[in-house]
Chains A and B, each alone.
Chain A
Amino acid sequence: MTRDEFSELALACLGEVTAFARRLTPGGADADDLIQSTYERAFATWSTLRERRACRAWLFQIARHLHFDRLRAVKARPELRLIDDDDAIPAVATMAADAIERLDAREINAALSHLDEAQREAVLLCDLWGFAYDEIAAITSVPIGTVRSRIARGRARLAALLGNAASAEQSERRRP
């Protein structure tokens, strides 16, 4: 891969890296700063990237590492809150799938905000950005089994949260 080819690939991901940076950070200048540092790091180390198709996941990985490096430097806080990986997967609230399909972005984001950080990240990387489990494992530096478990738990919890939101909405509509 030439530097020009890399540039093309990397810049084509700018919109997605921006969306990712805005979900990692509080947004605004923090997100802008992260986007720029991510691309600076990528352009400085692109020759270590072996496969073209890995470029997008690689950029996400860089963004995430830079973000947590910075958090650690500022607050000396742990990377992610430890999660209860051994808990049983919650039962999915019996909820009509089509009611969930009708929810808007605000409601979906509100439900996401109630998820454990690690689960939310895994679900978003999978469902929003369409990464495969092995790519998510590489981006987040955990084994594939952990990715699978985080997605299963996170999605089940979301189904319960969104199910509640959807039924609240339905009773709202029924009210005269």
Chain B
Amino acid sequence: MTCDLHRADLSAHIDGALSPGERVALDEHIAACAACRTDFASLRAVKHAVGRLSSREEPPGAVRARVEALRFSPPRIRRHRVAWSVAAGLVLAAGASVAFIVTSRDSSLTGELADILVADHLKSVPEAKPVEVASSDLRVVAKFFAGKTPFEPVVPALPGAALVGGRLCKIEGRHVELLFYRALGETLSLFVADRPLAASDCRAAKGHTVCGTTRGAHTLLLVGQRPRAELRALLDGASL
């Protein structure tokens, strides 16, 4: 009879959920009662047996990609499941551009951000201050940013442009890559950030042009003095 009462507490004891007083009392009983001792061991074996099942499983790659992409984009309305399945297939096929579907929203470049970027460009170009990493090798420059940015750093190749180097920069409190290229007769600044600060448009600011684009999880923002059509062509030709 007393064992019926104790039985209710055996599991809580195993889970460490008894108060110190309850625990002492139950331990005393277990020490004196062979039946409860056996039950206690069986219940603990059950806990271990359940604990051996898999507590974590890998989701399908497309699901992981879509979930991980959420960190780079604001929440948006879900697609219908059928459409999603199609999109999921595309994501798998597209490989590297997994986040594209999520980040391809058209947000416009604000004047405020364009002003900040031009100001950073003017005070940071190699002509104004020494770069932190000087190399024309994409991999060398990418390696410099490893662990410094809160995202996987990339250093794109721009068509007809020579990489000069780069430095770590901060925009809106976040660390981003600032890369310098020689092209079109000037030094261009390319900001690489990890979320869509801006998308497919261009904007004039302080006598310069700023163009933005989104590539996968990365946002690219190019700053220079040339007309927007030229900067746009350069940016659209960027390969990661």
A-B interaction: yes
B54 to chain A, nearest CB (A): 6
Q: Is A83 an interface residue (CB 8 A)?
A: no
Q: Which residues of B from 16 to 53 have beta carbons under 8 Å from A?
A: 17, 38-39, 41-53
Binary interface encoding of chain A residues 145-166 relative to chain B, with 1 for a CB under 8 A from any of its CBs, else 0: 0001101100110110011000
Question: What total of A-B pairs shows CB separation below 8 Å?
Answer: 140
Q: Is B182 an interface residue (CB 8 A)?
A: no
Q: Is B152 an interface residue (CB 8 A)?
A: no
List of A residues within 8 angstroms of B68 by Cβ: 11
Q: Is A126 an interface residue (CB 8 A)?
A: yes
When C-beta atoms are compared, the residue in chain B nearest to A144 turns out to be B17
B61 to chain A, nearest CB (A): 11
Whether A15 pairs with B78 at a CB distance below 8 angstroms is no
List of B residues within 8 angstroms of A94 by Cβ: 38, 42
How far, in whole Å, are A11 and B85 apart by their CA atoms in the complex? 22
Most buried by B among A37, A91, A123, A156: A156
Whether A97 pairs with B45 at a CB distance below 8 angstroms is yes
Whether A162 pairs with B7 at a CB distance below 8 angstroms is no
Q: Is B83 an interface residue (CB 8 A)?
A: no
Whether A19 pairs with B54 at a CB distance below 8 angstroms is yes
When C-beta atoms are compared, the residue in chain B nearest to A147 turns out to be B17
List of A residues within 8 angstroms of B45 by Cβ: 97-98, 100-101, 159, 162
Q: Is B146 an interface residue (CB 8 A)?
A: no
Whether A152 pairs with B71 at a CB distance below 8 angstroms is no
Whether B42 pairs with A43 at a CB distance below 8 angstroms is no
Count the B residues whose beta carbon is within 8 Å of the partner chain — how many?
A: 44
Whether A155 pairs with B47 at a CB distance below 8 angstroms is yes
How far, in whole Å, are A69 and B142 apart by their CA atoms in the complex? 46
Q: Which residues of A from 11 to 40 have beta carbons under 8 Å from B?
A: 11, 14-16, 18-19, 22, 29, 32-33, 35-37, 39-40
Q: Which residues of A from 118 to 163 have beta carbons under 8 Å from B?
A: 123-124, 126-130, 132-133, 148-149, 151-152, 155-156, 158-159, 162-163
Whether B49 pairs with A19 at a CB distance below 8 angstroms is no
Q: Is B186 an interface residue (CB 8 A)?
A: no
Q: Is A108 an interface residue (CB 8 A)?
A: yes
Q: Is B64 an interface residue (CB 8 A)?
A: yes
Q: Is A88 an interface residue (CB 8 A)?
A: yes
Whether B49 pairs with A108 at a CB distance below 8 angstroms is yes
Q: Is A86 an interface residue (CB 8 A)?
A: no
Whether B11 pairs with A100 at a CB distance below 8 angstroms is no
Query: Taking A16-B56, A22-B57, A32-B60 as contacts, is the C-beta distance between A43 and B8 under 8 angstroms?
Result: no
Whether B7 pairs with A148 at a CB distance below 8 angstroms is no
Which of A3, A32, A89 contacts B59, CB < 8 Å?
Answer: A32
8 contacting pairs across A/B (C-beta < 8 A): A15-B58, A18-B58, A35-B63, A91-B7, A92-B39, A128-B55, A151-B15, A162-B46
**Chain A residues near B (Cβ < 8 Å):** 3-4, 7, 11, 14-16, 18-19, 22, 29, 32-33, 35-37, 39-40, 43-44, 88-89, 91-95, 97-98, 100-101, 103, 105, 108-109, 112, 123-124, 126-130, 132-133, 148-149, 151-152, 155-156, 158-159, 162-163
